[in-house]
Structures are given as C-alpha cells and as structure tokens.
Amino acid sequence: MNKKTENENKTKEDIKKSKDTNINKSNTIENSTNNEEQELLDIKNDYVFKRTFGYKGDEEVTKVLLRDILGMKVNEIDLDVNPITEKELMDDKLGIMDIASVVNDNVQVDIEMQVVNKNNIEKRIMYYWNAYYQKSISKGDDYGELKRTIIILIADFEIKGIEQAKKYFTEWEIREKDYSELILTDVLKICIIELPKYIKYKVNNPNLNLWTEFLENPEVINMSEKDIENEKDESLKTTKKAIKQAKDTLEQISKDKHEQELARLRKKYIMDQNAIQEYGYCQGVEDGKRDGIEIGKRDGIEIGKNDGIQFEKIETAKKMLAKKMPIDVIIEITGLSKDKIEKIKKNFKTYINDPICYNGTIEDILSICLYNLDSREEALGYAIKASLMQPNNERIKNNIEIIKNNLL
C-alpha cells in the first residue's frame, strides 16, 4: 500500500469517527433535552395516583395526606401494596386502583381518585364503603370487631346532588335529622374532594389547600428545601415536605418507560369506558325517543279509543233522549251516570245534533267534542275560534252561550 492510499484511508477513518462522535453527542444532547422536558404523568390518572401514594415507601407521605384530609393524628399506616398487573389496568373491579389502608390499627381508609363522572356515583360510594366495612371481620367474628371505615373520594368533576355545598371539601356522617350534633355511630364517614370547586370555594384548611393545588397542577408546585426549612408552622412544614416527596416520586415514575406505558394503558381504558358510557347514554336517549314515540302512539290510540267510546255513549244517550226514553233505561244501556245524562238533557241542543254540523270547520267540531268530554274551557276556546271564522253562524253563537252557562 503506498503512502497516498494510506493517507486517504486514514482520512476516511477520521471522518467516520468524527461523524460517529457528532451523532453520539447529538443523541446525548437530545436525550438530555428529553429528560429536562419530560412531562409529568397525570396525577389524576388513578394508576399514577396509586403509584405516588399507595406503594411501599410512600407510607410517610400518605400519613400526612390522610392527616390533612381527616383532621386526625396518623401514627401508623398499613398500606395494601399489592403490585398492579397490566391485566388489572383493563378492569374496574372494587379496590384495584384505590389506595386501601389501615390507620392506627383500627380505622380502614380507602382513597379513590375518580375522573369519569359515572352514573349514580353516590350509590357507588356507598357500595364501596359497605364492601370495605364487611371486609374488616371474618365470618363468625363478633360485630364489635368491625372497624371504622372511611371512604375518601377525590373527584375531577362536580357531583350532582351536592352542588349547593359552597366548598370543595365535604364530610358525610350518620346524624339525627333535628339534632345534627348527635351522631348515631362514627363507623361510617365519607369525605369528598371536588377538584373543580377548589378555585371557587377554598376551605379554611391551608394544609388541605396545598394538597389540592398539588393534585390540580403538580407542575407548578415547587417546594425547595429552603422554603420548607423557613416555614414556621410545623404542621405546614410537614405538609410541604410530604408534597415535595410526592412530587419527587411522581417525577421518577414519569421518567420510567414502563410506568409511562402502564399509565397510558390505564388512561386508554378510562377513555374507552367513558366513550362507552357516552355512547350508551346517547343510544339510550335515541331508544328512549323511539320508545316514547311508540308509547305515545299506543297511549294515543288508547286515549282515542276511550274518548271514542265515551263519545259514542253520549251520542247514544242523545238519541235515546230524543226518543223520550226513560233515564233509568239510558243509564243501563250507556253506563253513563245519572248526573251526566241530566247534563246532556239540559244542553240537548248542540252542534252535534245539527244536520249541517259535518260541514263546519275543524275548530267547530273540536269545540263540540271537547264539550261533550267535559273539557269546557278548551271547548269554549275552539268555539270562539270557529265563530271568528264564521261570524254570522247563529248555531256556533248559540253553542258559545251553552258552553259559557256550563262553566258557571
């Protein structure tokens, strides 16, 4: 190999190395940028929420969260830290995505993050409470072993039925109707946080307000070590420290490809369920319309039949009266009451008995039909309309007087 060829080959190798180096640098810069710009996973995704507060190592953070929501000292907490499988992400069974815990060894607490406004949410909450309450004892155990059970619902929507509550955090217990200070038992408690109400109705609980701000928008929450140390209120200092830990956990799982995929699968499932619910609602409305039309038709036919039968009875009674037949016989034949027949007899001269009635307007005919069905006010309205169309018709004028007399 001559020197010229050797130099050319060396130059090619140098160029290749330079390109590879630049590519590697570019990839490094790109990866670094992606890491810096990594968006946080949605804390309202119930899987992400559980990964942040309901796994091993999260106990201290969750203790503070429960303390601030329930207003009680949480000394010990036992989290149900069973890992979630991909299959379970595609399910909505009781407790899968909730954070179940036992506090201070004698209180069951279940936290549920809910973003889909499901039907009958209040009944769903009670069902959850009952299921957890029953789980606190085994068959054959004494009822005294039943644990106090608290359900905490964090809803990303306003709950129908409690709109008048001008606060985002509400607590529900069993109290006597007239003596609200009397509680039947403390075994049941339900706490509801309606996130959309937070902006409008903050509560006098700075600790809970901080947690709610974090759940609403964790990106804007920045708790530095200095800020925490400078906090003079010990309770708030503990809350800020816990929120910082929660955000650190959220940032860690947000960078994990596997966690991203699990969160995506769960989000897809929730969106699919929401779409199914919306479709079911729309389909139900359409089916309801069709059913309503069918029911309307059936009811209309039935009403028409009944009105027709009543009209036929009245016409028969009029013919019998015209032939001077006894009222007792008319009652027996038509089934009409004596009072009804007496009214027909009193106002015997009506449009229906006139031979030219079938040449009248629809308003004219309706007025007589409604009159004989005892809908006198409506009959008068149609009779007046008929009179306006035929102002010189004495028969219609006479009918108006008959109807007016029977309105008194």
Better-scored residue on pLDDT, 345 or 28: 345
Q: What is the pLDDT of residue 45?
A: 92
Name the residue among 202, 203, 210, 204 with its Cα closest to residue 231: 210
- Decide if pLDDT at 238 tops 50: yes
Better-scored residue on pLDDT, 12 or 331: 331
pTM of the model: 0.60
Q: What is the pLDDT of residue 386?
A: 84
Residue with tokens 């549920």: 112
What pLDDT, in 10s, does the model give residues 357-394?
445 677 888 888 787 777 778 888 888 888 888 888 87
Ordered by start, the domain boundaries in the chain are 46-255, 314-407
Question: Using CA atoms, how far apart are residues 197 and 200, in angstroms rounded to an integer?
Answer: 5
Q: What is the pLDDT of residue 298?
A: 56
Distances (CA, A) of 168 to 4, 114, 153, 164, 197: 81, 15, 12, 11, 5
- Decide if pLDDT at 30 tops 90: no
Average pLDDT, the chain: 78
What pLDDT, in 10s, does the model give residues 47-76?
999 999 988 888 999 999 999 999 999 999
Contacts (Cβ under 8 Å, ≥6 apart) of 196: 156, 157, 158, 168
What pLDDT, in 10s, does the model give residues 174-194?
999 999 899 999 999 999 999
- Decide if pLDDT at 331 tops 90: no
Name the residue among 241, 372, 272, 392 with its Cα closest to residue 318: 372
- Decide if pLDDT at 162 tops 80: yes
Confidence label for 8 from pLDDT (cuts 50, 70 and 90)? very low
Q: What is the pLDDT of residue 199?
A: 87
What pLDDT, in 10s, does the model give residues 256-311?
998 999 888 888 877 777 666 665 555 555 555 555 555 555 545 554 555 556 76
Contacts (Cβ under 8 Å, ≥6 apart) of 114: 46, 121, 153, 154, 155, 156, 157
- Decide if pLDDT at 213 tops 90: yes
Q: What is the pLDDT of residue 7?
A: 46
Question: Using CA atoms, how far apart are residues 191 and 112, in angstroms rounded to an integer?
Answer: 10
